[in-house]
Amino acid sequence: MRVQKTNEMEAVLMSFRGKVDASLEEDINFVRKTLGLDPTGGEFNVAYGSIAKDDKEIAILTRSILEIIIDLASYIEVPAVHVEEKRVNPTMPEDTVQGVPVPPLIRIHSSPDKPGDAFIAVPYRNHWFWIDDRDLRSKALFSFLMFIFSLTETGGKEGAPVITVPAG
């Protein structure tokens, strides 16, 4: 994928590699057919939406940052007292596939005591919420979210005000 400027706008383009082995070529043809793409096309515009305008465009309908955070919030191990007080919904039960538990995307623990080995910890309503420093999966997802937040910041790049004090 690459970003290309066209008439003051940026367009995201996706292309398939030219020379590939037979196995990868089969996968590429499957993707083209599944997405309804031109079987001979070299580059495809990537657009936000649910329906592509033609066979030279890939439409992607993504979630907003808010929707992602709401979904991830369902993995927080919430204190029973907060559920009893109707402050929050209970933690979603762990998903299973064929009886095997599927690890959550992120695991955020809670307890009334400050955690001893936390990657990040936040106090809220007499409880601590934290990510264990040994939980690589949760640390990676949290770090990725923080990176995404930094990309979506809209504040100006102004520095702190400068004050000049006369010395004479």
101-107-110-116 Cα dihedral, nearest 10 degrees: 110
Measure the CA–CA gap between 140 and 147, rounded to whole angstroms: 11
Question: Within 10 Å of residue 122's Cβ, how many Cβ atoms?
Answer: 12
Give domain status of residue 161, yes or no.
no
Q: Do residue 72 and residue 147 come from a single domain?
A: yes
Edge-to-edge order in the sheet of strand 43-48: 2-6, 9-15, 43-48, 57-60
The predicted pLDDT at position 21 comes to 86
Give domain status of residue 166, yes or no.
no
Q: Do residue 93 and residue 139 come from a single domain?
A: yes
8 or 113: which leads in pLDDT: 113
Dump pLDDT digits (tens) for 86-132: 999 999 888 889 989 888 899 999 999 999 999 999 999 999 999 99
Residue whose structure tokens are 């623990």:
109
The predicted pLDDT at position 34 comes to 93
Phi, psi of 43 (to 5 degrees): -130, 150
Phi, psi of 167 (to 5 degrees): -110, 25
Give domain status of residue 94, yes or no.
yes
Number of domains composing the chain = 2
pLDDT of 162 strictly over 70: no
The predicted pLDDT at position 19 comes to 80
Two structure tokens written together for 121: 């910890």
Q: Do residue 86 and residue 112 come from a single domain?
A: yes
pTM above 0.95, yes or no: no
Q: What is the mean pLDDT of residues 130-135?
A: 97
Dump pLDDT digits (tens) for 30-71: 999 999 999 888 889 888 888 999 999 999 888 888 898 898
Distance of CA 76 to the CA centre of its chain: 16
Q: Do residue 51 and residue 73 come from a single domain?
A: no
Q: Do residue 117 and residue 43 come from a single domain?
A: no
Measure the CA–CA gap between 39 and 158, rounded to whole angstroms: 49
Q: Do residue 104 and residue 134 come from a single domain?
A: yes
Question: Within 10 Å of residue 108's Cβ, how many Cβ atoms?
Answer: 21
Last residue of one domain, picked from the residues 60, 91, 107: 60
Task: Quote the domain boundaries for residue 139.
Answer: 65-152
Last residue of one domain, picked from the residues 60, 78, 110: 60
For residues 66-76, one letter each, b for 16 or more C-beta atoms within 10 angstroms of the residue's C-beta and e for the rest, the string is eeeeeebeebb
163 or 8: which leads in pLDDT: 8
The predicted pLDDT at position 11 comes to 77
Give domain status of residue 158, yes or no.
no
Phi, psi of 151 (to 5 degrees): -75, -25
The predicted pLDDT at position 167 comes to 64
142: exposed, middle or buried (C-beta count within 10 Å: 0-12, 13-18, 19+)? middle
Give domain status of residue 165, yes or no.
no
